[in-house]
Amino acid sequence: MIRRTMSIFGLAALVLVSLGMLFNGSASVAANTPPPATTEVKIDNFSFTPATLEVAAGTTVTWTNRDDIPHTVVSVDDPKAFKSKVMDTDEKFSFTFTKAGTYTYFCSVHPKMTGTVVVK
């Protein structure tokens, strides 16, 4: 009876140690994976702020319209790298830049509004 009890406790201890190592290993892998980079451009007073933004490849940029009138975000590249719908106040548009380069964009409703994203 004592041997059987010891065997059960030994097996239980082995299972607990194995589970602990499994979860500990998973946590360290997750901790070493950086979250995706994100940054914001504000649209306010007929301008993009910041007007020029430098980001790493893989970064998601989100434009938020803080003006009381509609705006868009449209790349000047042909074909268009990105193009938002018309955004009303507090609406957002996001785009993830995966390739290095310089991306110039404008508001198609107000073409004098321009901005640039430089991807390293």
Segment 11-23, tens digit of pLDDT: 455 554 554 554 5
The structural domain count of the chain equals 2
Stated pTM of the model: 0.71
Q: Are residues 109 and 51 in the same domain?
A: yes
Separation between Cα atoms, residue 41 and residue 117, nearest integer Å: 10
Furthest C-alpha separation in the chain: 87
Q: Are residues 77 and 22 in the same domain?
A: no
Q: Are residues 18 and 55 in the same domain?
A: no
Residue 39 to residues 9, 61, 70, Cα–Cα distance (Å): 53, 5, 21
State the pLDDT at residue 36: 66
Buried/exposed 7-16: b ≥16 CB within 10 Å, e otherwise: eeeeeeeeee
| Residue pLDDT, tens place only, 55-113 | 999 999 999 999 999 999 999 998 899 999 999 999 999 999 999 999 999 999 999 99
Q: What's the domain range around 81?
A: 38-119
For residue 74, give the 3-state DSSP assignment: strand
For residue 55, give the 3-state DSSP assignment: strand
Q: Are residues 95 and 45 in the same domain?
A: yes
Q: Are residues 95 and 52 in the same domain?
A: yes
CATH of residue 102: 2.60.40.420
